Chains A and B, each alone.
Chain A
Amino acid sequence: MIEFVKGTFIIAGALLMLLASLGILRLPDLLTRMHATTKAAALGVILIMLAVAMHYAEVGVSARAFAIIVFILMTAPVAAHVIGRAGYFVGSKLWSGTVKDELRPNYDPLTHELKSGMESIENTQRQPRDTDPD
């Protein structure tokens, strides 16, 4: 029984990794490629490490396998965020079918200033409120 579960986890993890690399090969631009790789590869590593923990069934090895799982879960989103941010600043081209890029009109990539779209003369000055102390 546990052999069957182990084998299923290993094959599923390997197939998820193949899916991630198919995604990175076939998808059109940086952000869609990251969308394919981060999630699928993280899930593949998690499944294979679960299989390792089941195979050994010792405290030390299982603790290290779960340490890898927690590490992957913590670092994959951070790395994806940092690379996506750097790629946007460097000016990697978006896919021609991209529907919306809301940062493009409001963001200055040189000064890193983000406009809210609500800038006006009266919004730059502080308006007095009723609850202000005198």
Chain B
Amino acid sequence: MDTVILISQVIMSLALILCFVRVVRGPSLPDRVVALELFASIVVGLVGVYAIKSGVSSFIDAAIVIALMGFLAAMGFARFLERGGPRDD
């Protein structure tokens, strides 16, 4: 089981790196917002896997909070864009 968890952590870290490339390169602000939302999802997965590995079930609460914050950040960015954010960046 430890090997499986290690492999999945490596895969998710690779996914974080690829997602970060899009955050840096993204041609416009909505692309970066989508990438940050994916970031939050991957971090929720990493926290869930770490909850299995460490045996501390309280990490699930942290995963709930991270998912909530990702959603609220996406909503806030979308509102900011619609109410006159940067138009052609």
Contacts and interface: CB of A to CB of B under 8 A. Distances in A.
Contacts of A83: 30, 33-34, 37, 74, 77-78
Q: How large is the interface on A (under 10, 10 to 19, 20 to 34, 35 or more residues)?
A: 35 or more
B75 A82 contact: yes
Interface string B1-27: 100110111011011101101100000
A41 B18 contact: no
A60 B58 CA distance: 10
Interface residues of B, number: 50
B49 A48 contact: yes
B15 to A, nearest CB: 4
The DSSP consensus for interface residues of chain B is helix
A99 interface: no
B11 A90 contact: no
Most buried by B among A3, A24, A33, A41: A24
Given A21-B18, A21-B19, A79 B75 contact: yes
Interface of A: 3, 6-7, 10-11, 13-15, 17-18, 20-22, 24-25, 30, 33-34, 37, 41-42, 44-45, 48-49, 51-52, 55-56, 58, 60-61, 64-65, 67-68, 71-72, 75, 78-79, 82-83, 85-87, 89-92
Interface of B: 1, 4-5, 7-9, 11-12, 14-16, 18-19, 21-22, 28-31, 33-35, 37-38, 41-42, 44-45, 48-49, 51-52, 57, 60-61, 63-64, 67-68, 71, 74-75, 77-79, 81-82, 85, 87-88
8 contacts: A10-B49, A14-B45, A25-B21, A83-B33, A86-B30, A87-B81, A89-B81, A92-B30
